[in-house]
Amino acid sequence: MTRILLVDDAAAIAELFSKEVAERFGADVEVCVAVADVELMLAREPYDLALVDLSFPQEHANGIDAMAEIHRSNRCTRLAIMTQGDAWVSELLRDAWDLLPVATVISKTAPLDYQLEMIDGLLDGRDVEADPAVQTLLPSRRNPERTPERFAALIQHNGHAKVWNVLMDRNFEATYKNVSDSTGLKLNTVKNYRSQLLPELRVHRLDDPSLREMQEFAWRCRSFLRPYVEASLEGR
């Protein structure tokens, strides 16, 4: 039987939608309402398709975290994003599109029949264009230089790892003084480290970013950044 994982924190709506999908395709559809629970869901039989929302405001997590975990668990699971397409998730959407093999993007505002038609194409292994309602939020082309492995170049030494380690916390107030105080690095050293990283940050579509913009990037992409940060801090 076809297995589908739906990751969405809108529990009531997700349950209703999962029943429609299960009925239409005769599939086993499981709902996960928290990114923190995705790993537990993946301990079961592999999924053929994962439909993942981007926004989880009640968690210190996002849809990229969920999709990265799913992709690590089983690279055969097709990934699709389901989103309202709000402007504030546009950076998340672009990062996910660049860094993960996302097959398509389904708009939550589209008619149910259109959503099911897109899912039918995904299950059939066909190429499915992103919903026109969200296409304008996607990059015109995927950046082939931007890969999960490329994040290693953002941690060129232990000092960079210390800076990224505090910036990955979205609740941290990202000022040079606070970064300096939290890492034990001198203020000018923190500024110099940011300057050193500018060429590599441009690969990730960040042109001369502020510390706050670097923090938002670190939070969005922490699933790819954290392993290299931890390896550097642990001396691996």
Amino acid residing at 42: L
Residue type, 227: P
Instruction: Kindly state the tokens that stand for 125.
Output: 């292994």
Residue 197's nearest CA partner among 168, 228, 157, 235 is 157
Tell me: pLDDT of 133 over 80.
yes
CA distance 12 to 35: 16
Q: Which CATH architecture has domain 3-135?
A: 3-Layer(aba) Sandwich (3.40)
Q: For the chain, what are the domain ranges?
A: 3-135, 148-233
pLDDT one-digit tens code per residue, 183-219: 999 999 999 999 999 999 999 999 999 999 999 999 9
- Stretch 22-50: mean pLDDT: 96
CA dist 225 and 202 (Å) reads 16
Under the banding of pLDDT at 50, 70 and 90, the label for residue 19 is: very high
- Give residue-wise pLDDT tens across range 98-120: 999 999 999 999 999 999 999 99
Higher pLDDT, 221 or 84: 221
